[in-house]
Amino acid sequence: MQTATISFDKFNQLQDDDCHLRIRAARDRLGREVVLLCHHYQRADVYQYADLTGDSLKLSRLASQTDSRLIVFCGVHFMAEVADIMSKPEQIAILPDLAAGCSMADMANLAKVERCWRELAEVLAVEQEVTPVTYINSAADLKAFCGEHGGIVCTSSNAGTIAEWAFARRAKILFFPDQHLGRWTGFKMGIPLDEMMVWDPDLEMGGLTAGQIRRARLLLWKGHCSVHQMFQPAHILRFRNQHPDGLVIAHPECSFEVCRQSDFVGSTEHIVRTIKDAKANTRWLVGTELNLVNRLAEEVRHEGKIVQFMAPTVCMCSTMQRIDPQHLAWTLENLADGTIVNQIQVPEHERQLAKLALERMLAVS
């Protein structure tokens, strides 16, 4: 491979039309050597080039089944890490913009989780009583932490199944980084709200007493998705007043109150499937990222279905938006010229432990 990299500076000022021409030309040169993955939340001007679409886990699994050597993940950093962990050794995972992160994933880092584990050990026999469960929206080193401590990874679609597995092994779960998915999962399992305690990593002992820690069945990390926290019960009330026959569907990263007032709650894949399988001429209020909602609205419009976004203000995944035509053109041209850019490579020891936690999840679900 070449070592000289085409500078991004010359692409940064390119008009979108020029970028699209260069993207298509580079893809023609690369052929099947590259597979382009696009998450549901990806902006439309990039999503149009996807070979595979879906949520992060689905995309990583599909990519590992292809023969393509280069996996270009149009998503965020943790997604590309999962692709690297799950792909074949000869495959290379690439993120077009290294600044495309996830604010939720950043709310739990390894140092804070390890401190939490040590503090829990002051009150509990932590290795025997607590199973660490990380949402897939987390860094690879946290997945590795779970692998090392008998824990597991979950997604928004299998969180209930994973929680059942965890409770069958140990009495308590430490769930990070999204408190809302954890709380909704516990609620659906019949766990009382007063047995689900929020662990604030910025406070000593998470801001909890020893008694609260002993009583808790679910310890919920104080983290959230900046997109899904924008949705409010008042948005649902307004919709129901205007459209009594309308249906509401929300992602479980939404607040507990929003989930309780929704008719359906589920992952991005569940949201897409539910609305596509619904009767014609139905109206939907959807609590998830704007790009997905707009795309879904267009796809079902011909059936007379009306799909509208839950919040009155624009609310999209801003870090996902960093993957734009300019970055994609730059990435693909470098690859077509034989230069690997923005490779995401999880350190081997961390990779093996993270893969263990992911494989536990796949075996359970």
Task: Give the predicted TM-score (pTM) of the model.
Answer: 0.92
Helix (H, G, I), strand (E, B) or coil at 197: strand
Cα gap 321→318, rounded to integer Å: 5
Residue whose C-alpha is closest to residue 116's, from 147, 149, 158 = 149
User: Class of the 9-101+319-346 domain?
Assistant: alpha beta
Pull the structure tokens for residue 49. 């080039």
Average pLDDT of the residues of the chain: 93
Query: Is the pLDDT at 131 greater than 60, yes or no?
Result: yes
Classified as helix, coil or strand, 54 is strand
- Least confident range of 32-41, 98-107, 114-123: 98-107
- What is the per-residue pLDDT across 195-233, written as a single tens digit (0 to 9) for each? 999 999 999 999 999 999 999 999 999 999 888 889 999
User: Quick one: which of 149, 156, 158 has its CA closest to 361?
Assistant: 158
Strand order in the sheet with 152-154: 152-154, 130-135, 172-176, 218-221, 196-199
Residue 1 has pLDDT above 70, yes or no: no
Mean per-residue pLDDT for 152-174?
96
Q: What is the pLDDT of residue 58?
A: 81
CATH class of the region 105-226: alpha beta
Residue 312 predicted with pLDDT over 70:
yes
Quick one: average pLDDT of 126-133? 98
What pLDDT is stored for residue 184 in this prediction? 98
Tell me the fold of 228-309. Rossmann fold (3.40.50)
Contact (Cβ atoms closer than 8 angstroms) between residue 287 and residue 249: yes
Give the separation between CA 363 and CA 333, rounded to whole angstroms. Answer: 39
Q: Which two tokens stand for residue 269?
A: 């894949």
Tell me, yes or no, if the two domains 9-101+319-346 and 228-309 fold the same way. yes
pLDDT digits (tens, 9 = 90+) for 57-93: 787 778 778 889 999 999 999 999 999 999 999 999 9
Residue 321's pLDDT band, with cuts at 50, 70 and 90, is confident
Please give the distance of CA 226 from its chain centroid, rounded to a whole number. 12
Taking the domains of the chain in order of start, what are their residue ranges?
9-101+319-346, 105-226, 228-309
Q: What is the pLDDT of residue 320?
A: 67
